[in-house]
Amino acid sequence: MDLLDPEMWTGRIGVDGWKPGEGAALAAREATTGDQLGTLGTASVDQVAAAATGARSAQRSWAALPPATRSSVLRAAADVFERETEKITPWIVRESGGSWTKARSEILAAVAECREAAALPSHPHGQVLPSNKERWSLARRVPAGVVAVISPFNYPLTLAIRSVAPALALGNAVLLKPDPRTSVCGGVVLQRVFEEAGLPAGVLQFLPGGAEVGAAVVEAPEVRVVSFTGSTAAGRRVGEAAARLLKRAHLELGGNNAILVLPGADIERAAAAGAYASFLHQGQICQTAGRHLVHESQYDAYVTELARIATSLTVGDPYREEVQLGAIIDDTQTAQIRSIVADAVRDGARVLAGGDVTGRFVRPTVLGAVSTSMRAWREEIFGPVAPVVPYRTLDEAVDLVNSSKYGLSVGLLGDVGTALSIADRIDSGKVHINEQTVNDEANAPFGGVGASGNGVRFGGPGANIEAFTETQWVTVRPEIEAYAIQP
């Protein structure tokens, strides 16, 4: 059967096989045109509860399998992603509105995540501890149990698989609730890939739906860990609910990331890096550069080159045209971008390139004469907009970078020695010297501070084992200890 044959998933959810959803029908739509591509089912609250119960039962058997068996499933999933690239790619392009290059990069990331996760079962999962008693004392990592993964629309495959793959590899079951706008490429695809890879039934449950399904997933008693990627506002609600229920929540949230161009930097290269960071996937990335800081001596040259690049980029329907930027995900987000730019212009900012909005297409926009009090500087725009401000001293620049409530990613461009000294003063989960802000690798720690989340929860064996297992203390004596009971 075709990997994504609609006959399998139309009107259905992935709970112990493909079953009709008891919730309202969910239209899968093309971001660019709004055309309907298919129809999914959605889960009812009762179905979420049943899925959580089934996942807990399946998890025990899955965790009991030899590590090599779990590793083989993850390797097989990577192979399926590679083999089915040409079937998966159009769904990412059409549902998320991104380019073919961006879609293929998501599949490459999924392959890397699965192969990296395949090594986790054989990593050390504990320590031998000194003890003052005659015994062995061990601290071991054991599966958390059932993990809820709630993933976003912008990189729907990448931002789901980076939690799903390590959670499965470490012996957990997963309830996957993707964004309703990308439920095929962010949900159906993962369910079908792992079915093809030989994952036992019930270990991965696919639960499409809206906010009520997300809330039910978090509330399910069987769920011990919630892995959420999305907006800061939604993440706060998830974190509050998890805290009330004494569950761990791993929150990867928004960002208003900075590109800091150091004095004397190569302006052409710096502007190219800044353009990539602000305009990739229409700026709909948590790591997008939403603030550009340039020394006053090079400000004019930088904004001129950045505007030239922005003007040269092509915008259109990525499924039917060869373009570099596609559509914004929906009309609501498009209106938000338009509003922020309009407010900036009203308050004195100048549009140096772009600024045009046609339907869901937003031209790459460069803003000059920006004040740090403007929404365009303070807020996460989540669109292809690059506000630029000059600075006089490096101390002023550091203060500007750190003034944001977000703390996800910072790019420092220019002299390495200067950048190293500044990096020690930056409040950010990631600092990239002579690279732009959008960076991610399967074996590298990923996370932010402040309004960007509650620290590193993804990437590499250290973060993943910490995220998706619990610590258990075990002691062993050669015989029962003799306890003296005093009257």
Average pLDDT of the residues in 234-252: 97
Helix axes 67-83, 189-196, angle to 10 degrees: 120
Give the pLDDT score at 485. 86
* Helices 460-468 & 158-169 angle (0-180, nearest 10): 70
pLDDT at 337: 98
The CA distance from 182 to 156, in Å, is 6
pLDDT tens string 283-316: 999 999 999 999 999 999 999 999 999 999 999 9
How much is the average pLDDT of 352-374? 97
Q: What is the pLDDT of residue 391?
A: 98
Going by pLDDT thresholds of 50, 70 and 90, the confidence category of residue 458 is confident
Sorting pLDDT into bands at 50, 70 and 90, what band is 355?
A: very high
Q: Please compute the mean of the pLDDT values over residues 232-252 and round it to a whole number.
A: 96
To 5 degrees, how large is the angle CA 360–CA 365–CA 368?
150
Tokens of 64: 């009991």
Q: What band does 457 get if pLDDT is binned at 50, 70 and 90?
A: confident
With 90 as the cut, is the pLDDT of residue 332 above it? yes
Average pLDDT, the chain: 97
Say whether pLDDT at 486 is over 90.
no
Catalytic residue among 252, 268, 470, 479: 252
pLDDT at 208 over 80: yes
pLDDT bucket at 360, cuts 50 / 70 / 90 = very high
Q: What's the token pair of residue 460? A: 């590499």
Helix pair 299-312, 267-279: axis angle to 10 deg: 50
Give the pLDDT band of residue 399 (cuts 50, 70, 90): very high
Instruction: Reply yes or no on whether 114 is catalytic.
Output: no
- Judge whether residue 455 has pLDDT over 90: no
- The Cα–Cα gap between 288 and 275 comes to 10
Query: Which position has the token pair 């929860």?
Result: 457
User: Which pLDDT belongs to residue 191?
Assistant: 98
Q: What is the 3-state secondary structure (H, E, C) of the chain?
A: CCCCCHHHHECEEECCCEEECCCCCEEEECCCCCCEEEEECCCCHHHHHHHHHHHHHHHHHHHHCCHHHHHHHHHHHHHHHHHCHHHHHHHHHHHHCCCHHHHHHHHHHHHHHHHHHHCHHHCCCEEEECCCCCCEEEEEEEECCEEEEECCCCCCCHHHHHHHHHHHHCCCEEEEECCHHHCHHHHHHHHHHHHHCCCCCCCEEECCCCHHHHHHHHHCCCEEEEEEECCHHHHHHHHHHHHHCCCEEEEECCCCEEEEECCCCCHHHHHHHHHHHHHHHHHCCCCCEEEEEEECCCHHHHHHHHHHHHHHCCECCCCCCCCCECCCCCHHHHHHHHHHHHHHHHCCCEEEECCCEECCEECCEEEECCCCCCHHHHCCCCCCEEEEEEECCHHHHHHHHHCCCEECEEEEECCHHHHHHHHCCCCCCEEEECCCCCCCCCCCCEEEEECCECEEEECHHHHHHHHHEEEEEEEECCCCCCCCCCC
Q: What is the pLDDT of residues 308-329, one digit of tens each?
A: 999 999 999 999 999 999 999 9
- Mean pLDDT for 473-478 is 96
CA–CA distance, 186 with 329 (Å, rounded to integer): 14
**pLDDT, tens only, 49-88:** 999 999 999 999 999 999 999 999 999 999 999 999 999 9
Amino acid letter for position 89: T
pLDDT tens digits for range 247-264: 999 999 999 999 999 999
- Quick check: 390 pLDDT over 90? yes
Give tens-digit pLDDT for 160-193. 999 999 999 999 999 999 999 999 999 999 999 9
Q: Give the Cα separation of 241 and 226 in Å (integer).
A: 10
**Average of per-residue pLDDT across 124-147:** 96
Q: Which residues pair with 270 in a beta bridge?
A: none
Cα distance between residue 324 and residue 192, in whole Å? 30
- CA 259, 265, 267, 269 dihedral sign is negative
φ, ψ dihedrals at 349, nearest 5°: -70, 155
Residue 219 dihedral angles phi and psi, to the nearest 5°: -75, -20
If we measure between CA atoms, which residue out of 251, 214, 193 comes closest to residue 450?
Answer: 251
Decide if pLDDT at 1 tops 80.
no
Query: Is residue 212 flagged as an active site residue?
Result: no
The one-letter amino acid at 460: G
Q: Which residue has the higher pLDDT, 445 or 113?
A: 113
pTM across the whole model: 0.96
Domains of the chain: residue spans and CATH: 6-253+453-474 (3.40.605.10), 257-433 (3.40.309.10)
pLDDT in the model for residue 248: 96
- Give the per-residue pLDDT at 236: 96
Per-residue burial over 182-218, b if 16 or more Cβ lie within 10 Å, else e, is bbbbbbbbbbbbbbbbebbebbbbbbbbeeebbbbbb
Catalytic pick from 185, 286, 305, 380?
A: 286
pLDDT at 487 over 80: no
